[in-house]
Amino acid sequence: MLKGKKIIITGAGGFIGTYFLEKLKDDNEVIALLRQDISKYWRLKLFEKNYKVEIVDITEREKVMSVFSREKPDIILHFASTGTYPGHQNDRDALFSTNVVGGINIIEASLMYSDITINTGSSSEYGKVPCPMNEKGPTFPTILYGATKLFTTHYAKIRAEEEKKRLITIRPFSVYGPYEEPFRLIPYVLSSALLNKKIKLSSPRSVRDFIFIEDFYDATIHLINKTDQLGYGEIFNIGTGKEASIGDLVKILENEVLKKNLDIEWGLVQKQPELEHWYADISELKKTGYVPVYDLKSGLAKTYNWLKENIEYYSRE
């Protein structure tokens, strides 16, 4: 747990940022960095506003520096990113400006004004490499999003080593749970089941390393608490170390969570070629003393229960 800390969260209106904001806001002084007015973020309407908001475009260096110099935060959680979703992965200008320019701005401001920084990389940095994917490489990103995140990861590591600062990069695998975007796989399938809609999926053989958001949160907080024992600029995979296919996920939902057959049409969604295997080597995370708690069944059950209570945000046409 973290208590009594001043924490800046970038990307605080997104899936992961919102989850951390809700968990941290009551016991800490949290500043949410948003690009737009708070009213533009549907997730932030779901809980009490017990935090401060700063409207800042992270690509604007002077504004970023101004906020950091004024607030002098203890901890930075950098989640802001472009290209997390497939529709934005070919916007070269946005990918470079947010992930590289914005990422560098946050890293430099963090090194100057904060004690601990979490920089968020991506499993897309690995690309098409043998599994399990290991922090020491190789890395061969196959999409521009992965390439921009890999650059920022290397930049963060080099600068942390130069400045001898407690900055680490986390590489999330397939995080799921409350607040995830409606069009993402798991909320799409669950909301479609709740609303009795046909589900259109690509291939049951597609694989992911699914990690529940609560495990992702706990692993990140654990690493924050361990930063004084870690090397400068270290990189950590955050996944389960296990892969599951979309077919496996559907079977768990049908047999153990929803207890009903789903109306699925396979092969109707065109996607980029899928890899045969995709899962993290989490041995470095385990060495620090953290092991994920949730299996896919328990994580899906908690996600389903949360989504039932918030289905209005997932029923848009």
Q: How far apart are CA 154 and CA 104, in angstroms?
A: 11
Concatenated DSSP letters for 303-314?
A: HHHHHHHTGGGG
The mean pLDDT value for 282-297 works out to 98
- Residues 6 or more apart whose CB falls under 8 angstroms from that of 283 comprise none
What's the pLDDT tens digit per position in 6-33? Answer: 999 999 999 999 999 999 999 999 999 9
| Tens digits of residue pLDDT in 90-126 | 789 999 999 999 999 999 999 999 999 999 999 999 9
Same fold, 6-175+210-238 and 181-209+243-276+295-314: no
pLDDT of residue 89: 62
| CATH assignment of 181-209+243-276+295-314, among 3.60.10.10, 3.90.25.10, 2.60.40.2220, 2.40.37.20 | 3.90.25.10
> For residue 265, what are the β-bridge partners?
200
Identify the pLDDT of residue 85.
Answer: 67
The H or E element that residue 108 is part of is helix 103-113
Share of residues in the chain with pLDDT > 90 (%): 91
Domain residue limits, the chain? 6-175+210-238, 181-209+243-276+295-314
pLDDT over 70 for what percent of the chain? 95
Give this prediction's pTM.
0.96
Which helix H or strand E contains 23, and what residues bound it?
helix 15-24
For the segment(s) 6-175+210-238, the CATH number from 3.40.50.720, 3.40.605.10, 3.90.420.10, 1.10.620.20 is 3.40.50.720
* Nearest alpha carbon to residue 72 among 8, 162, 23, 20: 8
According to DSSP, the residues that pair with 118 across neighbouring strands are 77, 168
Q: What is the pLDDT of residue 1?
A: 84
Cα–Cα dist 227/220, whole Å: 11
Interval 233-258 mean pLDDT? 97
